[in-house]
Structure 1
Amino acid sequence: MRILVSGASVAGPVLAHWLTRYGFSVTVVERAPAPRRTGGHAVDLFRPAMDISEKMGVLPYIEERATDTRRLTVHQEGSSRRPVRADLSKIFGAASERHVEIMRDELSEIYYDATRDDVEYVFGDSITAISPAGEVRFEHAPPRRFDLVVGADGLHSNVRRLVFGAESGFSAFIGAYLGVLSLPNASDVDGELLMHVGVGRTVGMYGAQHLGEARALFLFRSERELDYHHRDVPRQKDLLRGAFAGMHAEVDRWLDELDRTPAFYFDSITQLRMDTWSRGRVTLVGDAGYCPGAAVGGSTSLAVLGAYVLAGELARADGDHERAFPAYERAMAEHVRGSRAVALSAAKTLIPTSRLGVRGLAQGVRLISALPAGPSRALLRLTTKSGRLYDSVRVEDYAPTPGAAPARPST
């Protein structure tokens, strides 16, 4: 049975790994000309994604590439108060008993390296049409027929557009934007997250010794959707400058790197809300089908889990998509709803709407860090939805497969 997967970031390679293990023939097509190996921002893998990565044999390589961010310093905009310093590992530990933070592109590289010998990867191409019978046309390659097609191509999914229609019919803007840039690690930040928090805007800068550079992540609120094209990078940089102008001299220095940064990302924080992720021979996985909100909803862990569940349900149904796709959607529905709720709550906390919210964020960080592990975890579970979500997910065992041999380390 031949399955085409569009997208080689996170969900695509994870899905390809498990489909191959279950005996399916998999092709992954990716618009980028080569695997992405630079840029991106830090993402969190919580318990279910950690468990799945361990089953794949790649967890040691993920842990080797962890950012190992352990300390947090929070500055409150416009306040004479001393910055709050906290043990970040305790805050993450309060949210989940199993967690690692890693750069998104390094994670993608690890998953790709684990599958490249067993999966056909086609870079520098994309799908232009999909027929109900599975005939697929590409921008460059000749047409081919596949039994199933899976869109794992992110929030702005090409597969979703071709099969379900325009993104505007499914997206829900949650009132915030995200920007990420790479910059020199002039402050020699290693294992520390430096944050500046103000009303309607938050920025953090972090680095890790193995990266050789730092990343700055910007989050800001907007009552309306901003006018820009998703490929107009100069316009996006101007919007970011305007949103953070005058926040702090340190933030101004980070913004100065916008004209020199080797890697830049900007997008709205948007949720996808679809009644179904499947139509005929086509289904969606990860952000392509149920993005809860970049940077605030645990979308990377959700994508890994969704890819694993989709492959497992296809194996359980012997490739019968009419049984597998509904089962996949049923299995993921509760997790998707929970992640959406987490995203809305996290966005409100991380990007405060008032001075009281700014102080509350700083004091909450200080309190959780000061408490012993048990009470801090209990406090977070009482006050947020995230603490209840991640550790409640249990990874099901699907069709038995040979033991996962350790994948080659990424290079």
Structure 2
Amino acid sequence: MTHAGKVRAMQTKSILISGAGIAGPTLAYWLLELGHTPTLVEHAPRPRSGGYVIDFWGLGFDVAEKMGLVPTLRQVGYDVGELRLVDRAGRRVGGFDASVFRTLTDGRYVSMARSDLARLLYEKIKGRCEIIFGDSITGLKDDGSGVSAAFQHGAPRRFDMVVGADGLHSQVRRLAFGPQAGFETYLGYMVAAFQAQGYRPRDELVYVSHAVPGRQIARFALRGDRTMFLFVFAADAPVGVGPHDLAAQKEVLKARFGDAGWECPQILAALDQCDDLYFDRVAQIRMDAWSKGRVALLGDAAFCVSLLAGQGSALAMAAAYVLAGELGSAETPEAAFTSYERRLRPLIETKQKAARQFAGSFAPKTALGLFVRNQMTKAFAIPGVAKLTLGSSLLDRMDLPSYEMAAETVR
């Protein structure tokens, strides 16, 4: 049933969106279709590159289809053939045929660089709305009829509402709700990712992963003779290095993985040449409310499910679509924010719970845990085992609402 039209929709609004990653551009796209005037501000000086490879399916895939993006996603994405787990000598000790994911999702599944997804979303709105790079919000004042925003570099401006789509370390959340420590749950792991040119060996369409207790490193061959590397390691507390201290981050990875065997020496040598490293903690954001007055949060800023859930980008796109749809249907921003949260919260809480339960098997901290994990992945070759084990995690137990927005290609 079409949700729009139940109430008189609010008039055209000016909406400031902080963050030009996944959630922000998706929201801007749908707001443009509704006739609103979004402005994006992003503290990075340009659209980001690098990062890690994501698996994309579920409600986010449905939203991408509504945006006409699926053919392009399949072109830039990868049909991964195998997840291969190897030991110190590179011998296969576990893994499975990755086509099981496509089978369980009826083919509505693709793996891709997160930066490629962000680039495609950015291209959908480029030239259609104001996008400010190299600046950030430093102050917010909500007077009930609008929000005045102060910026690090630009002059103060006033908007009808503000949406924080600025990730785990959201500035909007800090300004409107308080320090991150009040909402963050650390899950006991750190993560890092980078890309290198010309790395050998290459295993096309194979995600190769090596682990020792508490540490895991993986590589995946990308187009253009690039290779993506992902590090995950257990840590009792978040590693205390600055978010922009590249040299210190590299030293942490060298100390953690220097004796891990396999290809770690040559991977760490490639890391030396890297100038774009993603380095962060694995954490969730849990909040009692995702909005306050005319300020709302979206994606990881509101409900980071963590890297372990494997669905952050897809959920961010689904949430952006719902938020835009509710803003197009409600009489006030506050009513739209309330409805948006009511629709999504049960799904998000389910995903967060599953991610917390999965944390221990993601990078097992003991030799026994690694052995059990490896044997379980081998069992996925038995018909029905993969479906029984993975099937529920690939389901989004929510129907995507239908809204009357100009660009919808699926009703």
Tell me the alpha carbon deviations over residues 289-338 of structure 1, each in whole angstroms, 9 at most, x when there is no partner: 111112544211111111111111111104x1121111111111112111
Partner of 2:111: 101
- The reply on whether 1:40 has 2:16 as its aligned counterpart is no
The one of 388, 400, 411 aligned to 1:378: 388
The one of 196, 200, 205 aligned to 1:183: 196
Cα shift at 1:220: 0.9
CA contact (8 A) 1:39 1:262 kept: no
Runs of at least 5 residues in structure 1 that lack an aligned partner in the other structure: 406-411
CA 1:283–1:85: 2 relative to 1, 3 Å: closer
Equivalent-residue separation in structure 2 for 1:145 and 1:224 (angstroms): 40
More off after superposition, 246-255 vs 81-90: 81-90
Partner letter of residue 112 of structure 2?
I
Cα shift at 1:47: 1.6
The one of 329, 334, 338 aligned to 1:322: 334
Partner of 1:6: 18
Written as runs of structure 1 = structure 2, the 5 A alignment for 1:211-250 is 211-250=224-263
Equivalent-residue separation in structure 2 for 1:323 and 1:82 (angstroms): 54
Q: Give percent identity, aligned residues only.
A: 34
Runs of at least 5 residues in structure 2 that lack an aligned partner in the other structure: 1-12
Partner letter of residue 174 of structure 2?
R
CA 1:249–1:380: 2 relative to 1, 3 Å: closer
CA contact (8 A) 2:85 2:374 kept: yes
- The reply on whether 1:308 has 2:321 as its aligned counterpart is yes
Partner letter of residue 393 of structure 2?
S
Partner letter of residue 379 of structure 2?
L
The one of 285, 297, 307 aligned to 1:284: 297
- The reply on whether 1:392 has 2:397 as its aligned counterpart is yes
The one of 98, 104, 111 aligned to 1:88: 98
Partner of 1:409: none
CA contact (8 A) 2:101 2:109 kept: no
More off after superposition, 325-334 vs 227-236: 227-236
CA contact (8 A) 1:47 1:97 kept: no
Tell me the alpha carbon deviations over residues 321-361 of structure 1, each in whole angstroms, 9 at most, x when there is no partner: 12111111111111211121222233221211222221122
Cα shift at 1:178: 0.3
Partner letter of residue 68 of structure 2?
G
Cα shift at 1:30: 1.0
Equivalent-residue separation in structure 1 for 2:95 and 2:238 (angstroms): 34
Partner of 2:406: 401
Partner letter of residue 171 of structure 2?
N
CA 1:397–1:211: 2 relative to 1, 3 Å: farther
Equivalent-residue separation in structure 2 for 1:83 and 1:306 (angstroms): 38
Partner of 2:280: 267
More off after superposition, 278-287 vs 124-133: 124-133
Equivalent-residue separation in structure 2 for 1:123 and 1:262 (angstroms): 20
Q: With structure 2 as the length reference, what TM-score do the two structures score?
A: 0.90
More off after superposition, 353-362 vs 48-57: 353-362
Q: With structure 1 as the length reference, what TM-score do the two structures score?
A: 0.90
CA 1:325–1:205: 2 relative to 1, 3 Å: same
Tell me the alpha carbon deviations over residues 363-403 of structure 1, each in whole angstroms, 9 at most, x when there is no partner: 222111x233x55212334xxx624xx34332110234355
Equivalent-residue separation in structure 2 for 1:107 and 1:5 (angstroms): 18
Equivalent-residue separation in structure 2 for 1:187 and 1:136 (angstroms): 50
CA 1:315–1:50: 2 relative to 1, 3 Å: same
RMSD between aligned residues: 2.1
Partner letter of residue 41 of structure 1?
Y
SS of residue paired to 1:4: strand
CA contact (8 A) 1:95 1:380 kept: no
Cα shift at 1:267: 0.5
Cα shift at 1:91: 4.6
Cα shift at 1:92: 5.7
CA contact (8 A) 1:152 1:286 kept: yes
CA contact (8 A) 1:4 1:149 kept: yes
Written as runs of structure 1 = structure 2, the 5 A alignment for 1:350-389 is 350-368=362-380, 370-372=381-383, 374-381=384-391, 386-387=393-394
CA 1:29–1:249: 2 relative to 1, 3 Å: same
Equivalent-residue separation in structure 2 for 1:163 and 1:140 (angstroms): 20
Q: How many residues align?
A: 394
